Chain A
Amino acid sequence: MLVKQMPARVESLHELLTFIRVEAKKRGFSESALGRIELVAEEALVNVFVHGYADGQGDVEVRCLVSDDPALTIEIHDRGVSFDPLSLADPDVHADLTKRKIGGMGVFLIRKMTDAVAYRREGNTNILTMTFRNR
């Protein structure tokens, strides 16, 4: 397992995404799949940056799980407030411009662009697990 831990703030984003991209690339994902992985990872990380820690101080940990099957599983760990992002309702993507609400898109994109996604709370840690199959 490959692990990278950084402060949970937006300044860490690019370095964490590069870490994930490099690991995904080693597993042979196509350029378009890499873009999709990066997008989903950003959405999950930004959620932690924004909502994770009440005082804005804390770390986020990215784990790339190694397995024999040609998939990539990423776990995002944080020790912030207990929060299941998957409990959020989907935005109404058919609403017109006047009714369309700002927000809620990040989690929606995570749902749509992963092959599997799950949340669990272990002790004081939020863990979001996202799997991408290599097609």
Chain B
Amino acid sequence: MEIIVTNESDIAIIAIKGRLDAVTVPQLEEQLTRWFEQPGTKLIFDLDGLEYISSAGLRVFLTTAKKMKARDGKMGMARLRENVKDVFTISGFIALIPAFDTLGAAQEAVR
């Protein structure tokens, strides 16, 4: 798995590529722990390159959404592949984290 963090003005974009599973999840958790050390309030996950997600990955999205809510921030995710979207839908998480077809739409929503 590869994680790339970029910043566009005050919006942080975290792009995840590859597999987010029980093996790789600690990598993402580490990145997010670091991100939460600073006071940012706008966060987008770019999931265009995410091929696979299991409940271990979902757990990270839920804890992140809770933390963002706690700091009154805005969070979204963009460009989910069909299989990844299925997992978010079945778990009900799709109703908790706004999902967008394009990165632009996600940026617009958290702006």
Chain A positions near chain B (C-beta within 8 angstroms): 10-11, 13-14, 32, 35-36, 38-39, 42-43, 46, 49, 93-98, 100, 102-103, 105-106, 108-109, 112-113
Contacts and interface: CB of A to CB of B under 8 A. Distances in A.
Contacts of A14: 23
Given A35-B83, A96-B96, A105-B91, A13 B59 contact: no
B87 A102 contact: no
A117 to B, nearest CB: 15
Contact of B22 (A32, A46, A96, A97): A46
Contacts of B69: 97-98
B58 interface: yes
Interface of B: 21-23, 52, 54-56, 58-59, 62-63, 65-66, 69, 82-83, 87, 90-92, 95-96
Contacts of B21: 13, 42
B23 A13 contact: yes
Contact of A103 (B22, B59, B65): B59
A112 B90 CA distance: 8
A109 B59 contact: no
Contacts of B63: 102
A97 B65 contact: yes
A94 B96 CA distance: 9
A13 B52 CA distance: 14
A113 B89 CA distance: 12
A44 B21 CA distance: 13
A16 to B, nearest CB: 11
